Amino acid sequence: MAEAGLKAMARTKTPKFGHFIVEFATPGIGHIMKSAGCDFTLFDLEHSGFGFETVKSALRYFEAADLPAIVRVPSREYHHIARAMDMGAEGLMLPMVGNVDEVRHIVNSMKYHPAGKRGVALQVAHDRYRPGTVADKFLAANHRTTLFCQIETEEGVKNADKMAAIEGVDCLWVGHFDLSVSLGIPGQFDHPDFKKAIEATIAATRKHNKALGRLVPTVEQGIDIFGQGFDFICYSGDVWVLHNALAEAVTKLREACGKK
């Protein structure tokens, strides 16, 4: 697809394909993903162990490759949200978002006046150290920053419609494993209750013309969920892609060479 920022991507149902980074925050990672055809990256702080120093460096790698980055912060704490924004995160993902009060807190923490109450830091990483007027900086930052709310609890599903209606929410993102656990059916993605939760989330995004995203482990599942209405499709993660490709190759080599 044509190059575009996350905000523009979220305003179209054209499929966007990305990859989940939980291990390899290496200098070449942005260019590798860009060359592979990715439209975005999802960079994880919830489960990866990455700290904010790593985020600040990794975001420069993605910027160098012109690859929009979504940073998933570990909590809804103001300092997690605002620091990710100050370091240059274009997209922000929040885990376990359950209700409108939480969404309003997130928007207030990531947006500048008048859209929010984020503390002011200008001519730093998020605006690429460029000078400019306060008014222009606020306007540009508020327009650029893109919010992805994870629906991964029963409460989140119940309030998905109200949350999708809020200005500042750009995408609902299904956290399928945690959602299945919250519903009391861990890993049972074919269970009627899970399917019902997915349908409710899809309906919320359609009603309010918001984007919808999810991580998928296979190409086939990515194609399937696009047919359901998902448009941000994040294919697997760095650890699993490397592991599976390497395991497949080594297994074939061992089998073939063992016969000789």
Summarised one tens digit per residue, pLDDT across range 32-64 is 999 999 999 999 999 999 999 999 999 999 999
Residue 191's alpha-carbon distances to 76, 154, 183, in angstroms, are 30, 14, 10
Q: Which CATH class is domain 6-258?
A: alpha beta
Choose among 2, 25, 5, 209: nearest CA to 91: 5
Provide the pLDDT for residue 2.
38
Provide the pLDDT for residue 260.
64
DSSP H helices in 65-186: 78-86, 100-110, 134-144, 154-158, 160-164, 176-182
Give the DSSP per-residue string, 65-88.
TT--EEEE-SSS-HHHHHHHHHTT
Tokens 């699993």 found at: 240
Choose among 71, 74, 72, 52: nearest CA to 62: 71
How far apart are alpha carbons 196 and 157 in whole angstroms?
10
Choose among 143, 198, 200, 147: nearest CA to 169: 147
Q: pLDDT band at residue 1, thresholds of 50, 70 and 90? A: very low
How far apart are alpha carbons 28 and 204 in whole angstroms?
38
Q: Count the Cβ atoms, other than its own, within 10 Å of residue 234.
A: 22
Q: pLDDT band at residue 255, thresholds of 50, 70 and 90? A: very high
How far apart are alpha carbons 193 and 184 in whole angstroms?
9
DSSP H helices in 151-215: 154-158, 160-164, 176-182, 192-208
Predicted confidence (pLDDT) at residue 217 exceeds the cutoff of 60: yes
How far apart are alpha carbons 47 and 95 in whole angstroms?
11
Q: What is the mean pLDDT of the chain?
A: 96
Q: Count the Cβ atoms, other than its own, within 10 Å of residue 104.
A: 15
Q: How large is the C-alpha radius of gyration of the chain?
A: 19
Enumerate the active-site residues: 47
pLDDT tens per residue across span 68-119: 999 999 999 999 999 999 999 999 999 999 999 999 999 999 999 999 999 9
pLDDT tens per residue across span 156-194: 999 999 999 999 999 999 999 999 999 999 999 999 999
Choose among 15, 97, 6, 10: nearest CA to 43: 6
Tell me how many degrees the CA angle 148-151-156 measures, rounded to the nearest 5: 120
For residues 76 and 105, the answer to whether their CB atoms sit within 8 Å is yes
pLDDT tens per residue across span 131-153: 999 999 999 999 999 999 999 99
Choose among 168, 169, 159, 234: nearest CA to 203: 159
